[in-house]
Structures are given as structure tokens and as C-alpha cells.
Amino acid sequence: MRKDLEQILVEFRQEVERVATDEHLKQLHGKYFSREKGVLSAQLRRIREIPVAERPGFGQDVNLLKQEMEAEFDRLTRTLADEDYHRRVEQERLDITLPAVGLPRGSFHPIKMVEQELCGIFERMGYSIVEGPEIETDFYNFGALNFPPDHPARDEQDTFFVAGGRYLLRTHTSPVQIRTMQQLAPPLKIIAPGKVFRKDTPDATHYPIFHQIEGLVVAENVSLADLKGTLHDFARQFFAPDVRVRLRPSFFPFVEPGAEVDISCIFCGGSGCRICKQSGWIEILGAGMVHPNVFVNCGLDPEEHTGFAFGMGVDRMAILKYGVPDIRMFWENDVRFLNQFWYVQ
């Protein structure tokens, strides 16, 4: 190759050595290969100044130079692309040995979990779950349940009335008894979980919203013994296998006889402690045999049908079983409190 062309190749190679970026690569391409201003084109144009005899040799040399430079340029392009690829792989590398960041997992609210736990026990005894509205009428919440017109529970002091007194927030889940008996023919075996509302001032054991589960069985020849056996079975499953149950006569307008149901104290086993106030017993629910008037109010013949009903506070059950010191904790939604119930069901 002619000396002057050889020199161009040497310079080109030196420049190639210094190229590090795509931008730089583009500039180099322009400088040497551009049709109008490129170094190669300038050499080709020189042919007119070359003596005719030397022209074929010159032409060959320029072609050689062009091939060498193109090969060199291709190599450079590939090297740069390669480097770029490896740089990106390095940058995007994932360290799979790093410990994973745990995703916080939600869970049901403790009251929901305890409600499910309670419902599960009755479902396994063959009860079906039904629900009723939280906004009720006087008829379903009181009248049909045999409350006399002047009963104190109907008082504005205890009950939240809405829509100018046309409706009220149910004060217990017993209205679901009425709705069920109106809609379904006996035999019936249902439980009704849900929220209830009373005008209570919040303290450790009261909150104006709480939860109940109502139970109702209607069939032929249902007895008080059936009720007691059912509640004993339930208490053994929910609290402890050796828990004892007693019924204390009590009054609810919609049952006769009516009872308050106690379990032997789960904290002291019945010997007497602070929690059972030395009595050895803890009240857990209200119950009784469905009052004949309630059957009549639902269009059922009280001569034909017998039944029992019971109602329990879900919050109270949770407090007793899980040792919650204050009912208001269920409403504060402090995750340190909520997280402690992860093992329920």
C-alpha cells in the first residue's frame, strides 16, 4: 500500500482505539466514510491528480484501505455493542441471595373470626345461617317479640331511632327470629349473626355497637332440656370440655320460661375469683322457650309448634375466651392488638 494511504490507516486505527461511546463512533464514521466530506471519498477524488500509469495501482490501494477500514469499523461497532450489553447485564443483575421483603398480610377482624368460630360450632350441629336488616321497625324489634307498648327498652334513652322514629337500629338480633318464622316453614334450626345497637356510654364492657348471635329452633316437642343440652354442647366446644352450664330463671318478653345462662368460671374453674366475683359462674347468654304470643305474631299455631331461642354477645364471648380487657379495643384497630388473633381459626 502506498505510504500516504498507509499513514491514513495508521491514524484511523489510532482513532479507533480512543472510541468509547456510540456518539464518538458516529463521529468517526462521518469523518472517514461520509460520501461528501469523508477521508475515503477525498482519496478517491484524488485519482484525477494521479498520473495515468499509476492510477490502477492507486485505485487498488484505496480499495484495500477501504476494506481494512470497514473491517476495523465493524469490529469496533461489535465491541462497543458487546461492552454495552455486559454493562447492562451487570447493572440489572438481581442478587437472589438477598433476604426477601415480606408483604404485610391482612386478616379478618377478631370479632369476625370469633363470629365465624361460634357460627362454625352451630353449623356443625346442623344450624343454617340467616341474616336480617340492621335498620328495623318497631314491629320486628319489639312488637312481634311480645314487648308491651310501655317497655323501657323502647325508650328513646336506650334505642337509636332513625327517620323521625319510623325506623330504629335493632337493639338485638331477635327480630331475625320473626323474619325467619314469617318466611320459612318449620322445622327451623337457624342462627343469625350481626351487629346490634344500644345507646350505651362506652366503657370497658359497653359499646353502642356490638355483635350478637341469635339461635332459633322450631319443631314439634322441643323441650327446655334440648335447649340446655344444646348450650352445654356449645359451651364445651367453645370454652373447655369440662365447663358446666346452668340456667337461671330470668325474663325476656319473647320467651317463657326465660333464662340467663351461666358457665362455670373458666378462670378459676368454679372456686371463685375476681372475674366471676367469687360466684364461680359467668353469665354468657339469654335463652328460653319461644313464647306462644311470638308464634301467633308470626302466623304459627302455638298448639302445634314448640321452640327455643338464645342470644349471645359475640364481643363478650371474645373478651371471655381471649382475655380482652376492654371492649373498646375492638374498635381502635391497633394492629398490635389485632395481630394477636392470627391463630383463631
In eight-state DSSP terms, residue 145 is G
Beta carbons of 261 and 245 less than 8 angstroms apart: yes
| Cβ 161 vs Cβ 99: under 8 Å | no
- Pick between residue 132 and residue 286 the one whose CB is nearest to ligand PHE: 286
**Nearest C-alpha neighbor of 32 from the set 78, 80, 68, 81:** 68
Distance CA 335, CA 331 (A): 11
Closer CB to ligand PHE, 69 or 214, in the complex = 214
Please identify, among the stretches 63-71, 270-278, 282-290, 293-301, the one whose residues bind ligand PHE according to the rule CB under 6 A: 282-290
Q: Are 217 and 226 in contact (CB under 8 A)?
A: yes
Neighbour tally for 219: CB within 10 Å: 14
Q: What is the dihedral of CA 125, 219, 192, 262, to 10 degrees?
A: -70
Closest Cα to residue 176, out of 199, 192, 198, 188? 192
**What residues between 284 and 303 interact with ligand PHE by CB under 6 A?**
286-288
Q: How far is the CB of 213 from ligand PHE (least distance, A)?
A: 10
Decide: is 175 part of the binding site for ligand PHE (CB under 6 A).
Answer: no
Question: What residues numbered 210-229 form the site for ligand PHE, per CB under 6 A?
Answer: 214
Which residue from 154, 172, 211, 305 is in contact with ligand PHE, where contact means CB under 6 A?
A: 172
Q: Where are the beta strands (DSSP E) in the chain?
A: 128-129, 135-136, 161-162, 167-169, 188-197, 209-219, 245-250, 255-264, 281-290, 306-313
Nearer to ligand PHE, 6 or 256 (CB): 256
Of 41-49, 96-104, 237-245, 283-291, the window that binds ligand PHE (rule: CB under 6 A) is 283-291
The residue type found at 158 is D
Contact 186, 226 (CB under 8 A): no
Report which residue's Cβ sits closest to ligand PHE: 311
Over the window 304 to 343, marking each residue x when it contacts ligand PHE by CB under 6 A and - when it does not, the resulting string is -----xxx--------------------------------
**Count of residues binding ligand PHE (CB under 6 A)?**
12
Per-residue mark of binding to ligand PHE, 51-90 (x: CB under 6 A): ----------------------------------------
Which residue, 76 or 316, has its beta carbon nearer to ligand PHE?
Answer: 316
Please say which residue, 270 or 311, places its beta carbon nearer to ligand PHE: 311
Residues that bind ligand PHE (CB under 6 A): 172, 174, 214, 252, 255, 258, 286-288, 309-311
